[in-house]
């Protein structure tokens, strides 16, 4: 191969710089600086030079935005910083209630708000799909979906196709690590073109731009993603040292300096009065925007106040989404049924004549509780207005009494549990009616379904119908009984052969390797979601430490509030729950961050401590999550991208660009067998 001249290398650098500047001007600033034909000519010249001299290819080159080979699957990755969802408010009264709540948090009166640090900042809520971006030394190394807020899917190659996301930050001396959060979305005209093409091809149309954006991001072929022309607005910035940033406004301005597109329609507001004016103003103006927005995000502007307020079990206390009225439609109530959840809560549900709402068919809608039914004055046969906002469960907003049939019957909440027949109670200070019979089949079913769910113990094959049989046949009285099921017991169930029973028993036994955080979430303690379970197990790496912790100890965990701390503390004080934990310990589940007894003794020594692994391709026996768990239980770390800090790359069939990168960097490669050998016989 002909060796490149100095002039050739300089030309490559010059072309790359020109194309990056042109792309930034076009996709971020919306101010083109060169003609499309000129851009295409320069791009092709760079592409040809990189083909001739591949040593000049860099990850941030404009030619590297689209991968040549489709991915075979996406890898689950843990977010470096959790992505919390936002609490919703649907009117100004709920907005005022949010302000009252955060002002009650201790010590906020000690925070001094400077004149330059206006209390609130309002940003339009873009109706798209959240992304988490990671930059190392200014270079984009990972893009991931939100997922459950703790873990998401790595989609870096797809993220690179979004032209408004810089492959390299526009900073002279970027921090070593930068985390950026934002929203990927489709403009309305692009969305219309996509659906037009799908219709011509006889394909199912996307219901709305948000669904189209989410579906696009999960395409395995990045060429398809690039063709759909996703866009991106950045809205959150995390730096290793945030002392230079005083406000959210500072963060947004720095994001712009870094090369990101930031929504320009933001506004500083001294009080909720200005917030409400902004909200009302954009209710009409948003109709003229080239993208969908379904509300306004209200954030406390000073970052020091944000830090002090922290988080509840699900949401940051310092931000809220003020939503515009959602799509509504009328339909008729055919009946009202009552569901009993795993906490014993009775929830009335309206059974409806099917209607199309927000792109989906709706046949049921929540009525929340007896107070809400009384407020609505709901009768069977009423014509009601049903609303669905975003991903929330459809709800009955109001009734149309003028359309009520003459024979319509009012609905009253039952006085006894519809599942166990025991009397129900409605505490004086609560709106929820509850069954308090701990032996109630509905509570047991809900607990078992939650325990087996994907985010908890992820027991494959144990769904609602099988749980129903477990309870009806009295095979299971608690989650601990699952681990005493045998093939012989299961084959007595209806339509359960020996082969299926063996699979179920194996799946249950396999769940013993799930980490302590999943076990804690699976217990179903009130207010403890998957994100809080992760936070708690990081602070309390064993059940003994958490069970003996004081409420003050628990509340001291970043993101855990008083209500959650009290719920956890009280749960572990109940004798029946203590017995349950002892039985789970005997069943050899992971009740600590250390490996369980079902794993080899070598792992208990954290044999892979300090080692970083990357998984690529399809392994012959282990699933990706299984291999990840084995490595983490042995003290190792699993990341989604290959770098100089990677110690091993575990290679399976159809390995992709990660293998290529590992070969370039000279990183040691392992087969599945070699990984297992390393786990059992550390070097």
Q: Which run of H or of E encompasses 226? A: helix 222-228
Tell me whether residue 370 is annotated as binding: no
The verdict on whether residue 38 carries a ligand-binding annotation is yes
**In this structure, what token pair is assigned to residue 505?**
């028993």
Q: What is the chain's Cα-based Rg?
A: 28
Question: Per the annotation, does 39 bind a ligand?
Answer: yes
Residue 660 DSSP label: H
- Distances from the Cα of 56 to the Cα of 48, 53, 170, angstroms: 11, 6, 20
Quick count: other Cβ atoms within 10 Å of Cβ 72? Answer: 14
How far apart are alpha carbons 388 and 394 in whole angstroms? 5
Q: Residue 350 annotated as binding?
A: no
- Rounded to whole angstroms, the Cα distance separating 16 from 38 reads 14
Sign of CA dihedral 493, 495, 499, 504: negative
Q: Determine whether 125 is an active site residue.
A: yes
The stretches of 53-202 forming alpha helices (DSSP H) are 92-104, 156-159, 188-200
The kind and range of the H/E element at 294 are strand 293-300
DSSP 484: G
* Cα-Cα-Cα-Cα dihedral sign, residues 260, 65, 136, 536: positive
Residue 518 to residue 151: CA distance in whole angstroms = 12
Strands 612-616 and 637-639, by their bridges, are parallel
85 is in an annotated binding site: yes
Q: Is 419 annotated as a binding residue?
A: no
The answer to whether the annotation marks 440 as part of a ligand binding site is: yes
Residue 349, marked binder: no
Pairwise CA distance, residues 640 & 80, whole Å? 12
Say if residue 146 carries a ligand binding annotation: yes
- How do strand 360-366 and strand 345-357 relate by DSSP bridges? antiparallel
Q: Residue 36 — φ and ψ, nearest 5°?
A: -60, -40
Q: Is 420 annotated as a binding residue?
A: yes
Q: Is 323 marked as binding a ligand?
A: yes
Here the tokens at position 289 are: 């925007």
Spell out the residues 6+ positions from residue 464 whose beta carbon is closer than 8 angstroms to its own. 445, 449
d(CA 30, CA 180): 21
Residue 623: φ, ψ to 5°: -75, 160
Residues 305 and 318: beta-carbon distance below 8 Å: yes
Give the rounded distance of the alpha carbon of 365 from its chain centre.
24
Q: Pick the catalytic residue from 69, 114, 125, 314.
A: 125
To the question of whether residue 417 is assigned a binding role by annotation, the answer is yes
Q: In Å, how far are 346, 604, 618 from 418, measured between CA atoms?
A: 9, 48, 48
Q: Structure tokens of 102?
A: 């955060």
Q: How far apart are CA 101 and CA 563, in angstroms?
A: 13
Q: How many angstroms separate the CA atoms of 546 and 33, rounded?
A: 59
Beta bridge partners of 364: 351
54: DSSP letter = G
Q: Is 123 annotated as a binding residue?
A: yes
Annotated ligand binding at 96? The verdict is no
Q: Is 427 exposed, middle or buried (0-12, 13-18, 19+ CB in 10 A)?
A: exposed
Contact 387, 404 (CB under 8 A): no
- CA 303 to chain CA centroid, Å, is 23
Q: Count CA atoms within 13 Å of residue 106 on its CB side.
A: 3
Binding-site positions read 36-40, 85-86, 123, 146, 183, 299, 323, 417, 420, 440
Binding-site positions for NAD(+) read 36-40, 85-86, 123, 146, 183, 299, 323
Which residues are designated catalytic? Answer: 125
Binding-site positions for Zn(2+) read 417, 420, 440
């Amino acid at each position: 191969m002909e060796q490149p001249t100095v002039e050739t290398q300089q030309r490559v650098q010059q072309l790359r710089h020109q194309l990056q500047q042109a792309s930034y001007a076009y996709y971020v600033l919306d101010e083109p600086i060169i003609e499309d034909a000129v851009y295409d000519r320069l791009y092709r010249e760079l592409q040809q030079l990189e083909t001739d001299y591949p040593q000049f290819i860099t990850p941030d080159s404009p030619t590297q935005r689209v991968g040549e080979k489709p991915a075979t699957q996406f890898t689950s990755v843990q977010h470096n910083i959790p992505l919390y969802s936002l609490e919703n408010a649907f009117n100004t009264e709920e907005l005022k209630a949010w302000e009252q709540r955060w002002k009650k948090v201790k010590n906020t009166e000690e925070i001094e708000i400077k004149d330059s640090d206006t209390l609130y900042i309002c940003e339009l809520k873009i109706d798209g799909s959240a992304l988490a971006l990671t930059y190392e030394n200014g270079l984009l190394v990972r893009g991931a979906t939100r997922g459950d807020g703790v873990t998401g899917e790595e989609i870096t190659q797809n993220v690179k196709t979004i032209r408004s996301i810089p492959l390299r930050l526009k900073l002279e001396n970027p921090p070593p690590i930068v985390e950026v959060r934002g929203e990927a979305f489709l403009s309305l005209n692009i969305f219309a073109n996509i659906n037009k093409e799908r219709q011509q091809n006889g394909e199912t149309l996307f219901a709305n731009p948000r669904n189209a954006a989410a579906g696009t991001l999960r395409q395995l072929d990045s060429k398809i993603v690039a063709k759909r022309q996703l866009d991106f607005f950045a809205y959150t910035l995390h730096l290793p040292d945030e002392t230079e940033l005083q406000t959210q406004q500072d963060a947004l301005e720095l994001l712009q300096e870094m090369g990101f597109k930031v929504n320009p329609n933001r506004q500083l507001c001294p009080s909720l009065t200005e917030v409400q004016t902004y909200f009302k103003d954009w209710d009409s103006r948003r109709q003229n925007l080239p993208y969908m927005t379904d509300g306004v995000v209200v954030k406390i502007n000073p970052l020091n106040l944000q830090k002090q307020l922290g988080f509840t079990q699900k949401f940051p206390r310092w931000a809220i989404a003020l939503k515009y009225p959602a799509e509504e439609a009328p339909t008729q109530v055919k009946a009202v049924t009552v569901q009993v959840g795993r906490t014993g809560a009775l929830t009335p549900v309206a059974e409806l004549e099917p209607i199309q709402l927000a792109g989906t068919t709706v046949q049921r809608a929540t009525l929340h509780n007896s107070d809400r039914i009384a407020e609505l004055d709901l009768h069977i046969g009423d014509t009601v207005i049903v609303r669905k906002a975003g991903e929330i469960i459809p709800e009955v907003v109001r009734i149309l009494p003028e359309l009520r049939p003459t024979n319509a019957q009012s609905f009253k909440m039952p006085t006894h549990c519809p599942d166990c027949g025991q009397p129900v109670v409605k505490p004086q200070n609560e709106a929820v009616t509850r069954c308090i019979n701990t032996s109630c089949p509905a509570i047991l079913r809900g607990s078992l379904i939650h325990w087996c769910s994907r985010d908890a113990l992820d027991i494959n094959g144990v769904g609602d119908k099988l749980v129903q049989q477990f309870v009806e046949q009295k095979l299971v009285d608690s989650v601990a009984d699952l681990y005493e099921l045998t093939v012989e017991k299961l084959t007595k169930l209806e339509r359960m052969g020996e082969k299926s029973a063996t699979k179920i028993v194996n799946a249950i036994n396999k769940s013993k390797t799930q980490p302590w955080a999943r076990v804690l979430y699976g217990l179903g303690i009130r207010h403890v979601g998957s994100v809080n379970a992760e936070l708690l197990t990081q602070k309390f790496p064993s059940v003994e430490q958490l069970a003996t912790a004081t409420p003050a100890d628990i509340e001291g965990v970043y993101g855990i509030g008083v209500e959650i701390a009290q719920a956890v503390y009280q749960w572990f004080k109940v004798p029946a729950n203590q017995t349950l934990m002892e039985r789970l310990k005997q069943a050899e589940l992971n009740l600590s961050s250390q490996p369980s007894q079902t794993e080899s003794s070598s792992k208990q020594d954290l044999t892979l401590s300090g080692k970083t692994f990357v998984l690529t391709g399809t392994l012959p026996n282990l699933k990706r999550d299984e291999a990840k768990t084995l490595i983490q239980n042995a003290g190792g770390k699993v990341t989604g991208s290959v770098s100089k800090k990677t110690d091993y790359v575990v290679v399976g069939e159809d390995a992709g660009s990660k293998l290529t990168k590992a070969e370039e960097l000279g990183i040691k490669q392992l087969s599945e067998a070699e990984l297992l050998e390393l786990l059992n016989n550390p070097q």
